[in-house]
Structure 1
Amino acid sequence: MKLYCISILYKGLSKANLLKAAYDVSSFGFFHRTGVQEFMVFTSSIIVERTNKGTRASVKEQEYLCHVYIQEDGLAGVVISDHEYPTRVAFTLLNKVLDEFSMQVKNIDWPSGSPATVNYTALDGYLAKYQVRATQSLDVVFNDNESLIEDGIIFSVSKLLELIC
């Protein structure tokens, strides 16, 4: 379960404008990292350009799953992950990031902004935090299911003993 990229874009009339992004390409070979990162930028832009405002969608691209959310004001977020990453967690992350970004960066700067000019530094932290959070969420679900199964078995055995005695 891996989260590779979080990007924030502005959907203009003709094209998408990348405002800020964070990447985790550490699982790729050293010489492939730049190419993978460029692929993620390109894919994010294309998905935002082809998705309507006010829409959430998940798009499969090769072995990746791209989750996109475009607000009515044109602010868009894209999360690129593997297929195991929980969709609900990805969209929760997008909501949180876009809300925070829209409070910190003026919407007048969105059409002309770039990663170098936009002052928003939280994406790397979110990338690391939600990398761990998804794993913890699954661990909690697994442990809860495991304890329910154990409790059910113990309950069944104790009920059986009551019936016998």
Structure 2
Amino acid sequence: MKLYSLSVLYKGESKTVLLKAAYDVSSFSFFQRSSVQEFMTFTSQLIVERSGKGSRASVKEQEYLCHVYVRNDSLAGVVIADSEYPSRVAFTLLEKVLDEFSKQVDRIDWPTGSPDTIHYTGLDSHLSRYQNPREADPMTKVQAELDETKIILHNTMESLLERGEKLDDLVSKSEVLGIQSKAFYKTARKQNSCCAIM
């Protein structure tokens, strides 16, 4: 999973203005980096121009996904990531960046701003922090931990089966289970014998 670009733009009536952008083009060759960065800027502006106010969308371009969020106040954000990057995390990042940007940069400066005149320094740190969505986003981290727990549980059941122990033998040898519990287990086992245990 990789984030390549994070941009803040203003959707004007006649044109879209790039206000601030951060790029991670380290995975491209040195000679391609400036062209790739220009293409990401062009793509971000084009997507914002073609998107309506108050909309969120994800646009696929080859193996990349461009996530765009255009607010009703014409402030817009674009994340360009690989196709594996979770969309929910990308939109969480866009919402956070746009809220932060609108609090730090005066609205009067949006239509006439440029990356050189806008004083907002949060994009690089957000781009770096959100490279790993599990670390940056609490929900993704919790989901990863749940998936990991499932794997551990599945591995535990498989390891029990690998040792060659049968549950029937364990039940019959058990000193904790009473005679009625053992009888109940045998009866239930007979009735469920048509079903396989997953």
Regarding TM over 0.5, the answer is: yes
Residue 65 of structure 1 corresponds to 65
Do the aligned partners of residues 108 and 152 (structure 1) sit closer, same or farther apart at CA in structure 2, a change above 3 Å counting? same
Greater shift in the superposed pair: 152-161 or 92-101: 152-161
Secondary structure in structure 1 of the residue aligned to 2:126: helix
Residue 144 of structure 1 corresponds to 146
On the 8 A contact 2:5/2:40 being kept in 1, the answer is yes
Greater shift in the superposed pair: 141-150 or 153-162: 153-162
Residue 7 of structure 1 corresponds to 7
Residue 88 of structure 2 corresponds to 88
Q: Distance in 2 between matches of 1:149 and 1:160?
A: 21
Do the aligned partners of residues 32 and 149 (structure 1) sit closer, same or farther apart at CA in structure 2, a change above 3 Å counting? closer
Tell me if 1:160 matches 2:167: yes
Q: Output aligned runs, 1:1-165, within 5 Å.
A: 1-132=1-132, 134-136=133-135, 141-151=143-153, 154=156, 160=167, 163-165=171-173
- CA RMSD in angstroms comes to 2.3
Consecutive unaligned residues of structure 2, counting only runs of 5 or more, are 174-198
Secondary structure in structure 2 of the residue aligned to 1:131: coil
Q: Distance in 2 between matches of 1:127 and 1:78?
A: 12
Secondary structure in structure 2 of the residue aligned to 1:26: coil
**Greater relative CO (CA pairs within 8 A, separation 6+):** 1
User: What's the CA shift for 1:86?
Assistant: 0.7
Secondary structure in structure 2 of the residue aligned to 1:38: helix
User: What's the CA shift for 1:62?
Assistant: 2.2
Aligned residues with identical type, % of pairs = 61
Length-normalised TM-score, structure 2: 0.75
Length-normalised TM-score, structure 1: 0.90
Consecutive unaligned residues of structure 1, counting only runs of 5 or more, are none
Q: Distance in 2 between matches of 1:76 and 1:12?
A: 10
Cα deviation per residue 1:60-96 (whole Å; 9 max; x = unaligned)?
1122100000000000000000001110110000000
Q: How many residues align?
A: 164
